[in-house]
Amino acid sequence: MHESTMEQLWQTSHLAGGNFAYVEQLYETYLTDPNAIPEEWRNYFDKLPIDQGLPSQDVPHSVIREQFLKLAKRRSAVVEASPASLVSTEHERKQVKVLQLINTYRFRGHQKAKLDPLGLMEREYVADLELDYHGLTKADVDTVFQTGSLCFGVETMTLGEIQKGLEYTYCDTVGAEYMHIVNTDEKRWLQQRLESVRSHPVYEKERRIHLLERLTAAEGLEKYLSSRYPGTKRFGLEGGESLIPLVDELIQRAGSYGAKEIVIGMAHRGRLNVLVNTLGKNPKALFDEFEGKRLLDDGSGDVKYHQGFSSNVMTAGGEVHLALAFNPSHLEIVSPVVEGSVRARQDRREDNVGDMVVPIIMHGDAAFAGQGVVMETFQMSQTRGYGVGGTVHIIINNQVGFTTSRREDARSTEYCTDVAKMVQAPIFHVNGDDPEAVLFVTQVAMDYRNTFKKDVVIDLLCYRRRGHNEADEPSATQPLMYQVIRSLPTTKTLYAKRLVEDGVLSEEDAKKIEDEYRDLLDNGSHVVKSLVKEPNKEMFVDWTPYLGHKWTAKCKTGISLKTLQRLGKKMDTFPESFVPQRQVSKIMDDRNKMTQGAMPINWGYAEVMAYATLLHEGNEIRLTGQDVGRGTFSHRHAVLHNQKDGSTYVPLQHLADEQPVFDIYDSYLSEEAVLAFEYGYATTNPKTLVIWEAQFGDFANGAQVVIDQFITSGEHKWGRLCGLTLLLPHGYEGQGPEHSSARLERFLQLAAEHNIQVCVPTTPAQVFHMLRRQVKRPLRKPLVCMSPKSLLRHKEAISTLEELADGHFQTVIPEVDDAIEPKNVRRVIMCSGKVYYDLLDKRRTDGITDTAIIRIEQLYPFPEDDLEEVLSQYKKLDAVVWCQEEPMNQGAWYCSQHHMRAVIGKTHPKVYLHYSGRPGSASPAAGYGHVHAEEQSKLVNDAFTVE
């Protein structure tokens, strides 16, 4: 709870005067026995930041201060055992052993915990948790010892009481792993929260009834769908129903901290239940999906357990917008997409610490352990460019992936969650059949995230009552597991019985809750009571301006020459005390000359000026990749490094006193998670130019899942617009198989229905207008750019300031040499990319005047009309050639030749389209320099001679 909120509470009238003694007493009791005070006060005190726990100075608080001092002592470092030689008495030697025992429970108690509702989990015997392991015996159980840093509320206890408390805290239905955390404050905080209530706080009647209502909803929906649509795939939550109260509590608790948005990511298991019982999707809409009714006017749609959703719910802290991300079948790939969406929302709200937007990601146990993108996502959690202030991870751990439940087949670690230890995230294993334990760890997890702004993991140990899907028979592969499951009462049944036995409600009351829920389903009514029927639209982005636009390549992207020169001057300026590296200083001097018109414009200048002009016009920009600050090929230098002290200066961030944000981050060495993150960012913030640059274009191979299942198909499947730009360095320059090709053919194969743009610009002016077009048009389509390497400094790949000011992006660049007269042209060579300059050099060297060279700068959507206009001026054509550097089975040939033939058929029906390029190859390029040179020379020569 924020300090201002706390002060307001202390200043309210009911806490004044004589009532204050009551509050003091409550707090004193909380420090020694949290379960002895009302739940609402325990929640309040739990949320007090450690460094703000005292009331304001003008209020007497000597008692509380004294208790805080005692608490601080208990939270001090774990007492290390002194050498036996320094201990003077037997009792003191045993005291040290007791402290060692306490520490062992903290380290290894989870390995003894009763986590598995089925009782089948393989658990190794933990000798460290036995008294005799530490030199203690049953004769010592009644001896009183110091509790040291143990947060049991008293300074001395008998050994028996200490062990019993430790067993209940660490070895019952909660198994906490946190001693791998290096930060002492975090460990002490967790110890205080767990040990003070022995991991089992006492909940009041209303809270327990609410838990039952949530479990009833979770079970009720699955039963309803099972009876109404028997055998239909839904990837039900049966066996893991505690997920619904878990997520409900996360949302409510995050809202109480002031969160305004929560983004949720999850795969199939339980998704329909979350949609209906958490986000408030109308059950009738879900039933329509089960019955196969079309929901989208355009596109293919997707199966119901991949669908996303958004809604607003009310919490104690106000209205909260919920967004469930769309997710394909690739399980964990949605995790970084969620993080990107969260970062975009935080940036929009200027939420730099992550208070207002919170990510919640649900995982399957097998996927969490097996998918590498999980590690990549954890690795981004505390980085500058990708941090979101901590993520709450939930493992829906049904202990079997598809059919693989043997641990030695599923992973090499004890738990599926062990990968989370790499970022020192605390991990709470909890038995899903103990809903109150689930509620407790949920509260601690959200409080931890809010306090320390780091990731936290809840491992919800449950089971899968049915097969992988409802048509599957699980006993074929897990016979013993399903013998237990068939005889096991449901979580709701067990908890209802527990509440009846505790006198919280009657069996009739429990049945009434069940009947009321089913009535709501029968009526097709919303079942989420906190759902806001008229949500505050200001809480989320309005995509209306970007909807309903048909494809067009045309867009006005020029800008006045005066503005260009004014911005160029600012781009070339840095602080007087700043000392750039020598070669960088030369680049900046050259750019100054380009601004003055004294030098032709190169690629780096045109690109950064595209960013400068967009910023000048009020557009935000986010540029990430493994070397984007400098540029892999040392052309961009958007981030300058002071040679004196290592500080940095980004000219694009200093164009005006008040300007839009320009974020540029060198990413960590990931493609899959980083590109997924940027996709999530771009689909959430349409106003920002979002760019990911691969170090080499072929590195996009490592993110193919993101490209296939999100970037190229997300709009068609889910109606999700995305303006993400991919810069993929591409070009055959003798650098071997891996660093020549960005796999242009793969993107063209995925291109259909105007889903993406694939461009291969060959001049600085083209990249300038291409990047500006991506923002200036109201269309939001992914842009895949085969960006150059050698052209970054090629003497012919230049432009003028006037071409930036007055030009536009050309999908087709016609012949530019005035010496090539159309009436004399007998051959046209069409090409894309760097090979144009090789062809141009060949034509000049050999003095060829009857061959025109046409550049197709946009391969998809293929510019048939523009190409037709260019070709139609050549009346005497004998041959048209497509020339490419890539092997015949790669590049643009197979995917684009039918477009070219269609145009030639209109302009020159009798002319055949020839191919000039490398022969088909299993490898993208040769690895030997002389072989590359021979191949390149041949394909260039063939372009002028093939018939």
Listing from the earlier edge strand, what are the strands of the sheet with 318-324?
174-177, 427-431, 456-461, 392-397, 357-364, 261-265, 318-324, 309-315
CA–CA dist 662, 621 (Å, integer): 5
Helix (H/G/I), strand (E/B), else coil: 862: coil
| pLDDT class of 267 with cuts at 50, 70, 90 | confident
Respond yes or no on whether the N-terminal peptide bond of residue 861 is cis (omega within 30° of 0): yes
Cβ(426)–Cβ(449) below 8 Å? no
Per-residue pLDDT reduced to its tens digit, 485-524 = 999 999 999 999 999 999 999 999 999 999 999 999 998 8
From residue 355, alpha-carbon distances to 388, 427, 734 in Å are: 9, 22, 50
Look at residue 226 in the predicted model and tell me its pLDDT. 86
Above 90 in pLDDT, residue 10?
no
Q: Which pLDDT score is estimated for 37? A: 82
- pLDDT-derived band at 574 (thresholds 50, 70, 90) equals confident
3-state DSSP helix/strand/coil % of the chain, to nearest 5: 45, 15, 40
What's the confidence (pLDDT) of residue 87? 45
**Residues 836-847, mean pLDDT to the nearest whole number:** 96
pLDDT in tens, 318-345: 999 999 998 887 789 999 999 999 999 9
Q: Are the C-beta atoms of 437 and 199 separated by less than 8 Å?
A: yes
Residue 158: partners with Cβ closer than 8 Å, 6 or more residues away: 141, 142, 143, 144, 145
> CB of 420 within 8 A of CB of 375?
no
In contact, 115 and 431? CB cutoff 8 Å: yes
CATH fold label, 813-945 = Rossmann fold (3.40.50)
* Residue 935 zone, left/alpha/beta (φ > 0; ψ -120 to 50; rest): alpha
- Is the pLDDT assigned to residue 812 strictly greater than 60? yes
Task: Write down the pLDDT at residue 20.
Answer: 53
Which alpha helices (DSSP H) does 847-883 contain, by range?
A: 864-871
Question: Burial letters for 214-237: b for 16+ Cβ neighbours within 10 Å, e otherwise?
Answer: bbbbbbbbbbbbbeeeeeebbbbb
- DSSP for 260-301, please give it: -EEEEE--STTHHHHHHHTS---HHHHHHHHTT----SSS--
**pLDDT value at 16 more than 70:** no
Range 465-471, long-range pairs (CB < 8 A, 24+ positions): 465/236, 465/238, 465/239, 465/490, 466/236, 466/238, 468/235, 468/402, 468/403, 469/233, 469/234, 469/235, 470/226, 470/230, 470/231, 470/232, 470/233, 470/234, 470/235, 470/236, 471/231, 471/233
Report pLDDT for 84: 45
- 914 has which bridge partners? 881
How is residue 158 written in tokens? 């008998």
- Range(s) within the chain of domains with CATH label 3.40.50.12470: 600-639+659-806
d(CA 866, CA 868): 5
Closest by CA to 756, choosing from 634, 895, 862, 830, is 862
- Is the pLDDT at 85 greater than 50, yes or no? no
**Dihedral of CA 263/268/272/273: which sign?**
negative
- Element (DSSP H or E) covering residue 448: helix 435-452
What pLDDT shows up at residue 301? 56
* Distance, CA of 193 to CA of 449 (rounded, Å): 14
Among 112, 72, 79, 73, smallest CA distance to 97 is for 79
What is residue 422's DSSP assignment?
G
* pTM of structure: 0.90
- Scan for tokens 């527990």, then name that residue: 498
Neighbouring CB atoms inside 10 A of 542's CB total: 10
Please give the pLDDT value at position 709: 93
Whether residue 19 is predicted with pLDDT greater than 70 in this model: the reply is: no
Q: What is the pLDDT of residue 300?
A: 56
Q: Angle at Cα 302 formed by Cα 297 and Cα 304, nearest 5°?
A: 110
Lowest mean pLDDT among 40-49, 101-110, 819-828: 40-49
Cβ neighbors of 86 (< 8 A, separation 6 or more) are: none
Residue labelled with tokens 């209303």? 206
What pLDDT band is residue 303 in, cutting at 50, 70 and 90? Answer: low
How much is the average pLDDT of 8-15? 45
Of these ranges, 294-308, 436-450, 581-595, the one predicted with the greatest mean pLDDT is 436-450
- Under the banding of pLDDT at 50, 70 and 90, the label for residue 57 is very low
Give the whole-number percent of the chain exceeding pLDDT 70: 91
Mean pLDDT of 761-772: 98
What is the pLDDT at residue 518? 94
Other C-beta atoms lying within 10 Å of the C-beta of residue 722: 24
pLDDT at 22: 63
- DSSP characters for 633-674? TS----SEE-TTT--EE-GGG-SSSS---EEEEEPPS-SHHH
Query: CA-CA distance, 65 to 62, in Å (whole number)?
Result: 5
Taking 50 as the threshold, does the pLDDT of residue 83 lie above it? no
C-alpha separations of 222 from 230, 239, 287, 715, 873 in Å: 11, 10, 12, 30, 67
Residue 139: CB partners within 8 Å, gap ≥ 6?
none
CA distance 612 to 748: 31
Close Cβ partners of 2 (under 8 Å, ≥ 6 residues apart): 258
Say yes or no to pLDDT of 52 above 50: no
Residue extent(s) of CATH 3.40.50.970 domains in the chain = 216-538
User: Is 125's pLDDT higher than 90?
Assistant: yes
Domain(s) labelled CATH 3.40.50.11610 in the chain stretch across 813-945
The least confident of 100-109, 152-161, 300-309, 429-438 is: 300-309
Query: Do the Cβ atoms of 272 and 303 come closer than 8 Å?
Result: no
What per-residue confidence (pLDDT) applies to 555? 93
Between these two residues, 236 and 106, which has the higher pLDDT value? Answer: 106
Strand-pairing partners, residue 609, are none
When pLDDT is cut at 50, 70 and 90, the band that residue 78 belongs to is very low
Bigger pLDDT: 8 or 753? Answer: 753
Residues of the chain within CATH 1.10.287.1150 domain(s) are 95-195
Please give the Cα distance from 262 to 229 (Å, whole number): 31
**Which whole number is the average pLDDT over 760-786?**
97
Looking only at the bridges linking them, the beta strands covering 318-324 and 261-265 are parallel
Cβ distance 727 to 694 under 8 Å? yes
In the predicted model, is pLDDT for residue 483 greater than 70? yes
- Asked if 265 contacts 362 with a C-beta cutoff of 8 angstroms, the reply is yes
- State which fold the 216-538 domain adopts: Rossmann fold (3.40.50)
What angle, rounded to 10 degrees, do the helices at 603-616 and 561-571 form?
110
- The predicted model gives 298-313 an average pLDDT of 67
Q: Which CATH class is domain 600-639+659-806?
A: alpha beta
Residue 9's pLDDT is what? 45
Q: What is the mean pLDDT of the chain?
A: 90
CA-based max dimension of the chain: 110
Please give the CATH topology (third level) of the domain spanning 95-195.
Helix Hairpins (1.10.287)
Question: In degrees to the nearest 10, what's the CA dihedral of 707, 710, 711, 713?
Answer: 110
**Which pLDDT value is given to residue 35?**
83
Q: How confident is the model at residue 32 (pLDDT cuts 50, 70, 90)?
A: confident
Give which of 764, 744, 875 is closest to 822, Cα–Cα: 875
Q: Residue 475 pLDDT more than 90?
A: no
